[in-house]
Amino acid sequence: MNLAIDIGNTNLKFGLFENNEPVDVLIGEEAIDVILATHKIEEAILSKTGSNSSIEQKLKQKNIRTLILSPELKIPLKILYKTPETLGADRIAGSVAANFLFPTNNILKIDFGTCITFDFVNANAEYHGGAISPGMMMRFKALHNYTAKLPLVDPMQFTSFELTGTDTTTSILSGVVNGIKEEVHGIIKQYDLRFGNLAIVATGGDALLFATLLNCEIFARPYLVLEGLNRILNYNTE
């Protein structure tokens, strides 16, 4: 059994796979002890956006062969990014998974996480790059932290996002949520006009929200990074 580990800025996620089939996903640092106690892990792969050396130590103690996703690791994409050493491991892994899902399409992968990242892979499996924008909660926190009186808004308390806010809270809600919606919609439109044959794959904690709000065909995949990590692990053991 393979273990894919995504150490992100906000969450730590573990994906268990048999070949390329997902078996289970667990979230939180304490999950590693449960996994190692109840499953026979043959190989593991780590994507590190955040930092957590204790996970690596526990895998080493169990003598589990562990790969670290880095620019030196072989992947099934050609990287055309000018500074691959600065390219986030989560962006690479998610792009690998998206390319596997839609191998004959140009792909725009959008990760609605701590940051909103856009990644473009063409139909020749060439990774070009993309864009990085503040994520939804980062925008709410910035409005609260960098002003004297604006409240910190919790979007989870709302089920609709009206265009016209009728008080300060709903005005902030509209500005952030509808602002992201229009930003993403505009970028999708530009990529579609420029490249065509475009598949849009969304992941990240806020992906389902914006996939619902956006008026276009989006393939939502909550654990895309874990799927990509497993693909890369298998690619390096074939």
CATH of the domain at 206: 3.30.420.40
Q: Could you tell me if residue 17 is inside a domain?
A: no
d(CA 130, CA 137): 21
Q: Could you tell me if residue 107 is inside a domain?
A: yes
Q: Could you tell me if residue 18 is inside a domain?
A: no
pTM for the model: 0.91
Q: Could you tell me if residue 11 is inside a domain?
A: no
Q: Could you tell me if residue 147 is inside a domain?
A: no
Task: Give the residue numbers spanning the domain of 194.
Answer: 70-135+177-235
Instruction: Report pLDDT for 51.
Output: 59
Q: Could you tell me if residue 77 is inside a domain?
A: yes
Strand, coil or helix: what is 227? helix
CB atoms closer than 10 angstroms to residue 212: 9
Give the β-pairing of 12-18 and 21-27. antiparallel
Strand, coil or helix: what is 197? coil
Report how many domains make up the chain: 1
Instruction: Report pLDDT for 14.
Output: 96
Instruction: Report pLDDT for 10.
Output: 73
Q: Could you tell me if residue 213 is inside a domain?
A: yes
Give the β-pairing of 65-68 and 43-48. parallel
Q: Give the mean pLDDT per block of 10 residues along the chain (238 residues).
A: 88 91 92 94 86 82 92 94 93 96 98 96 98 97 97 94 97 98 97 97 94 92 95 91
Position 176: which residue type?
V
Instruction: Report pLDDT for 96.
Output: 97
Q: Which residues are catalytic?
A: 90
Q: Could you tell me if residue 159 is inside a domain?
A: no
Instruction: Report pLDDT for 48.
Output: 76
Q: Which residues contact 137 (CB under 8 A, 6 or more apart)?
A: 114
